[in-house]
Structure 1
Amino acid sequence: MDLYRTISSIPADFGPSVVTIGNFDGIHTGHAAVLGTVVNLAREQGLTPTAVSFDPHPAVVHRPNEPLHEIMGQPERQQYLAELGIDAYILLHYTLEFSRQSPEEFVKNTFVDALHARYVVIGEDVRFGHNNAGDLQTMRQLGQTFGFEVVTIDELMADETHRTSSTRIRQLLAEGKVEEARQLLGRPHRMVGEIVHGAARGRELGFPTANLSQQSRGFIPADGVYAGWLIDEHGKRHPVATSIGTNPTFEGITQRQVEAHVINRPDEPIENFNLYGQEVTVEFLHYLRPTVAYTGAEALIEQIAQDVLDTEEKLAEN
């Protein structure tokens, strides 16, 4: 997949193309439906399947005082887009100045002049241009003006009251509902980051943990313990019981930490099973329990041993 970060970097002979637009945070099942239509239509017509997005997320620019914790990082987003068959990803730098383009200016500059769009695939709730003034009807009118066809995708519903959306997935993850989030994502939620040294308390308790860096990518689910998998840099999957929180049994920890205990580590010297410095992926499949402050190490050790058993049982169900 080709990545372009500016309009000027797009080749003059690009396309013609089938284009969609979105933030694509999480690449959930609703996104997959839109992107699948883009790819299938492009293959049928001999066109270039193309996705247009923005970095940073527009919400960060327009509401800088409201933190936005994205579901996945850009590297993972690009990986999934490529796997779905997108050939060109236009990742435009979003600024207040950029946002002042009228709907017509944005469509002409991006879809028409740069990408030579023959088809634009969008959801019925699309908004674009200055102050989100452009909507589906606007896009159809611009399609008639500039000679591209607009294809709409029906909205996917998560349930009777919620549509499938990145906002809904963030809400579920913030509540620890990783199983429900998995249904909307179409796969387990993931975090990606480097394994760094921690306080070594897990090792002292007999349950060493792989600690994700504070710079890891991906939404951190609610505090608690989860059953899931760790995928190392070699692609090997390891069952893990992952704890999220500040470890309230011990004092002095103020930052939330993501610590994954690898289950059934091979009986070999720890240096032969060294994850430090590796960029790994942690998958969250099942929520096991909330984070609890125990009155001593012995009670905590007993609970962690139970977490391991519960993790093995849960993973055996999948």
Structure 2
Amino acid sequence: MEQAFLRVAGEEAVPDWLRGGVVAIGNFDGIHRGHQAVLERALEEARQRGVPALVLTFEPHPRKVFRPDAPLFVLTPPHVKARLIEALGFAGVIERPFTREFSGLSAEDFVIAILEQQLGISHAVTGFDFHFGKNRQGGPAFLMAAGERHGFGVTLVDAFRDEGTEIISSSRIRELLAEGEAAEAAGLLGYRYTVEAEVVGGAKLGRTLGFPTANMRLSSEAGLKEGIYAVRFRCADGTLHDGVASFGRRPTVDDHGAPLLETFVFDFTGDLYGEIASVSFFGYLRGEVKFEGLDALVVQMKRDEAEARALLSGVRPLSELDRAIAF
């Protein structure tokens, strides 16, 4: 019987059926096309060997541990990252807690404690620049030598470049999203940028204007440009709806500084409060504008709806992953 996708967080034990597999190792924030080159290679190795394919990643992002005072726009929080990894076809993801104590492990101790004892891997796949262990002492050459000592194979994947020969990175994607370039970011991600959160109550102003919204609070570090977007909204039951969303900070809402995403879901009636929903961003329509009155606001909202419907009517999946997430 086929096993369900498994997300192993914290110090949970790894079940026997996941041991002996091929593991892709890295932080993989964004699961962008560069990461996917590594992940697809791991899936291919696992298929050839007839063993499970796993992803070993680290939570929180190491930069949050080493530079806690520097805000970091995390593209794929753990639950979103796990969803993308599952959609790619992996058997499971191991979310290793990243702490200062863990970062102090020597490279050899990391290999023994995590790769050998916890996972019992048969093969590791990483990017060409992956480093691990105290002071980043473990690099590609060390990992390959360790594999020979401990009985597992190693595959290194070269940097992935876009059509303009630039290396695809999470930093580039963060910069594009901060500029409202949702379509360009999608080109590097290989799928539409997607957020996931609980639908919460709002001021209900939209409802009185004929534009009821599903409101979601995102991380205070979310670096997405504030403004109006054409989006796809996925309900907890998996149903998908087109919509138009406003993203920004509303000082009149007691949201503790967290940005609020307000989505007017097209052709939908029902109660979404308390559901975990996702929103995929297809295009940036305009910046936020302060209107003189509600009548002017309603006129603009109708224009936004028409523009979003037109944009979304012609979209096509960028990849199988995009199809799984936003179609």
TM-score (norm 1): 0.88
Verify: 1:110 aligned to 2:114, yes or no. Answer: yes
Q: Name the counterpart of 1:283.
A: 280
Verify: 1:71 aligned to 2:68, yes or no. Answer: no
| Alpha-carbon distance between aligned partners in 2 of 1:19 and 1:273, rounded to the nearest angstrom | 42
| Alpha-carbon distance between aligned partners in 2 of 1:197 and 1:4, rounded to the nearest angstrom | 32
Q: Name the counterpart of 1:188.
A: 192
Gaps of 5+ in 2: 316-327
- Give the partner amino acid of 1:286: G
Deviation per CA, 1:77-111, whole angstroms, max 9, x where unpaired? Answer: 22222232222322211111110111121112211
CA contact (8 A) 2:222 2:259 kept: no
Q: Name the counterpart of 1:252.
A: 252
> Cα distance 1:37–1:226, how it changes in 2: closer, same or farther (>3 A)?
same
Is 40-49 or 54-63 further displaced after alignment?
A: 40-49
Which residue among 35, 39, 42 is the counterpart of 2:39?
Answer: 35
Deviation per CA, 1:14-55, whole angstroms, max 9, x where unpaired? Answer: 632212211122222222221121122112112232221112
Q: Name the counterpart of 1:268.
A: none
Verify: 1:226 aligned to 2:229, yes or no. Answer: yes
Verify: 1:80 aligned to 2:84, yes or no. Answer: yes
Q: Name the counterpart of 1:236.
A: 239
Residue 227 of structure 1 deviates from its aligned partner by 0.4
CA contact (8 A) 1:14 1:114 kept: no
Which residue among 274, 292, 297 is the counterpart of 2:294?
Answer: 297
Residue 166 of structure 1 deviates from its aligned partner by 2.1
- Give the partner amino acid of 1:231: R
- Give the partner amino acid of 1:315: L
CA contact (8 A) 1:124 1:152 kept: yes
CA contact (8 A) 1:231 1:281 kept: yes
| Alpha-carbon distance between aligned partners in 1 of 2:59 and 2:77, rounded to the nearest angstrom | 11
Q: Name the counterpart of 1:99.
A: 103
Which residue among 128, 152, 160 is the counterpart of 1:148?
Answer: 152
> Cα distance 1:303–1:6, how it changes in 2: closer, same or farther (>3 A)?
closer
Residue 72 of structure 1 deviates from its aligned partner by 2.2
> Cα distance 1:311–1:15, how it changes in 2: closer, same or farther (>3 A)?
same
Deviation per CA, 1:245-285, whole angstroms, max 9, x where unpaired? Answer: 135xxx735653211112344xxxxxx52222222111110
| Alpha-carbon distance between aligned partners in 2 of 1:107 and 1:143, rounded to the nearest angstrom | 9
3-state secondary structure, aligned to 2:125: strand
| Alpha-carbon distance between aligned partners in 2 of 1:50 and 1:102, rounded to the nearest angstrom | 23
| Alpha-carbon distance between aligned partners in 1 of 2:85 and 2:17, rounded to the nearest angstrom | 22
| Alpha-carbon distance between aligned partners in 2 of 1:312 and 1:147, rounded to the nearest angstrom | 55
CA contact (8 A) 1:12 1:114 kept: no
> Cα distance 1:7–1:48, how it changes in 2: closer, same or farther (>3 A)?
farther
Root mean square deviation of aligned Cα: 2.3
Which residue among 311, 315, 324 is the counterpart of 1:314?
Answer: 311
Q: Name the counterpart of 1:44.
A: 48
Residue 8 of structure 1 deviates from its aligned partner by 7.1
CA contact (8 A) 1:194 1:212 kept: yes
> Cα distance 1:260–1:14, how it changes in 2: closer, same or farther (>3 A)?
closer
**Between Structure 1 and Structure 2, how many residues are aligned?**
308
Flag the structure with larger Rg. 1
Q: Name the counterpart of 1:269.
A: none
Q: Name the counterpart of 1:205.
A: 209
